[in-house]
Amino acid sequence: MNTPRRARAAAGTALATALLASLAGCSGGASGSASSADSGTYTFWDPYPQFDAASPWGKRVAECGRHAGVKIERTPMDTTDLATKALLAGQQSNLPDVMLVDNPAVSTLAEAGILAKVSDTGLKSDGMQKNILDAGTIDGELYGVPIGANTLALYYNADVLKKAKVDPASVTDWKSLTAALAKVKAAGSKGITFSATKTEEGSFQFLPWFWGAGAELTDIDSPAAVSALTLWKDWLEDGYAPNSVINNTQTTSWQEFATGDYAFGENGTWQLANAEKAGFDYGVISIPSARGGAAPVPTGGEFVTLPVQDDSAREEVTTKIVSCLISETNLLATDTTLSYIAPSAQVQARQVEDNSELGPWVDAVAVARGRTSGGMNTDYPVVSEQLWTAVQAGLSGAQSPKAALASAQNAAQSKTGH
């Protein structure tokens, strides 16, 4: 690599505020990189405070440091905390050597001048799926490499569906899903639970229905968008979904499903281990689109990135560290280490060979969309906040779905300028 990367003073308060609004869960800080490549210690920030040095993830990071001949000083922190600290570190020219960031943050940090282009680093993304890479691509340039992806689907309780005489394979669109919920309620069970909370988690969970209706984030009060919010509102009014969804996080929504009372629970790949412990037979189906087929789902997961640095001599070592993390061997293990689907079809096939239960998740990832892709980039945090605000207003009855989304569209336009 011959292209030096120079730290640039970057983002202001507006960017940091927008980023705080956009990121959903996952403190501390690390010192900036040392001035020479042979210092022996490289700093690494990630959004996994739940994993200590003795965890499989902690061990993997340390091993990749040893592979590169250096020691890793790892600092895990909350997802939003990491992103805002990265903005501050960019202003202070005190960035870590490697950062693992939630994919919606990539565009904000790249626009702030904090992240190096992959084309300047020597990192390889060959074989990785375009729809996953799109979350880290801005104006045709990739600013990081995914270590894996997760997304959403519908878990179902086989016992509840059997009692209601519902075949999960019959759920192929909104009409058949709503009909299944009616049968479940009539049989004395509960229908579906999800998260509609007033954070990014609420937007994340609403997007499959929003996109599945044919709506786009550039026009969040379209008739298609209104139909998606109306679907959720009707479910609450008909007793197919509990009012608790308005405050549910993805964790509390899972806890509701895990009681065994619900037929369906919208949740993610990361709940697979908990599903095994639930104590009842379960399965997974794609979230259906309005008129049939699998709905597009949002891509979750992190990108490993190389922040711009004053010391270009460290580039070769940081690239070795990252290349180790995204090697096929390590990507193959992300389903057990981080509950992720690998970003390449070749490794995904090996994951399914090892664990057939990952099959539906591989299918879901194949149709997933980046939240910041399609030209949204740094507008996404603004639009997402207005979207979850509209969902809250529509479900609570404060406004009709149409009025709530119209207010959201006006607010988004006033903040983004288009």
For 255-297, the pLDDT digits (tens) are 999 999 999 999 999 999 899 999 999 999 999 999 999 999 9
Pick the closest to residue 364 from 196, 212, 216, 246 (CA basis).
212
Question: CA angle, corner 248, sides to 77 and 25, nearest 5?
Answer: 15
Pick the closest to residue 347 from 148, 206, 157 (CA basis).
148
How far apart, in whole angstroms, are the C-alpha atoms of residue 84 and residue 101? 11
Taking the mean position of all CA atoms in its chain, how far away is CA 154? 16
* Enclosing H/E stretch for 232: helix 223-237
- Hey, how many other C-beta atoms are within 10 angstroms of the C-beta on 279? 9
Taking the mean position of all CA atoms in its chain, how far away is CA 235? 25
pLDDT band for position 5 (50/70/90)? very low
pLDDT in tens, 119-155: 999 899 999 999 999 999 999 999 999 999 999 999 9
How many separate helices (H) and strands (E) can be counted in the chain?
A: 18, 11
The predicted pLDDT at position 26 comes to 32
Q: Mean pLDDT over residues 351-374, rounded?
A: 92
The predicted pLDDT at position 37 comes to 66
Question: CA angle, corner 284, sides to 279 and 290, nearest 5?
Answer: 140
Taking the mean position of all CA atoms in its chain, how far away is CA 95? 24
The predicted pLDDT at position 11 comes to 35
Domains in the chain: boundaries: 13-149+301-366, 152-297+376-416
Range scoring the smallest mean pLDDT among 53-62, 212-221, 272-281, 334-343: 334-343
Q: Mean pLDDT over residues 313-320, rounded?
A: 89
Q: Is the pLDDT of residue 2 over 70?
A: no
**Predicted TM-score of the model (pTM):** 0.86
Residue with tokens 């759920």: 171
Q: Taking a C-beta distance cutoff of 8 angstroms, is the pair 86, 109 a contact?
A: yes
Q: Taking a C-beta distance cutoff of 8 angstroms, is the pair 194, 248 a contact?
A: yes
User: How big is the chain by its Cα radius of gyration, in Å?
Assistant: 22
The predicted pLDDT at position 339 comes to 85
Residue-level length of the chain: 418
Mean pLDDT in the chain? 89
pLDDT in tens, 152-185: 999 999 999 999 999 999 999 999 999 999 999 9
Tell me what percent of the residues of the chain surpass a pLDDT of 70: 90
Fold of 13-149+301-366: D-Maltodextrin-Binding Protein; domain 2 (3.40.190)
Tell me what percent of the residues of the chain surpass a pLDDT of 90: 83
Domains 13-149+301-366 and 152-297+376-416 share a fold: yes
The predicted pLDDT at position 336 comes to 73
Residues whose CB falls within 8 Å of the CB of residue 360, separated by 6 or more in sequence, listed in order: 153, 284, 285, 286
Residues whose CB falls within 8 Å of the CB of residue 252, separated by 6 or more in sequence, listed in order: 195, 244
Q: Residue 400 burial by CB count (10 A; 0-12/13-18/19+): exposed, middle or buried?
A: middle
Taking the mean position of all CA atoms in its chain, how far away is CA 49? 17
The predicted pLDDT at position 259 comes to 98
Range scoring the smallest mean pLDDT among 28-42, 56-70, 321-335, 341-355: 28-42
The predicted pLDDT at position 375 comes to 86
- SS3 label, residue 255: helix
Fold of 152-297+376-416: D-Maltodextrin-Binding Protein; domain 2 (3.40.190)
- SS3 label, residue 80: helix
The predicted pLDDT at position 39 comes to 56
pLDDT in tens, 88-125: 999 998 999 999 999 999 999 999 999 999 999 989 99
How far apart, in whole angstroms, are the C-alpha atoms of residue 326 and residue 176? 40
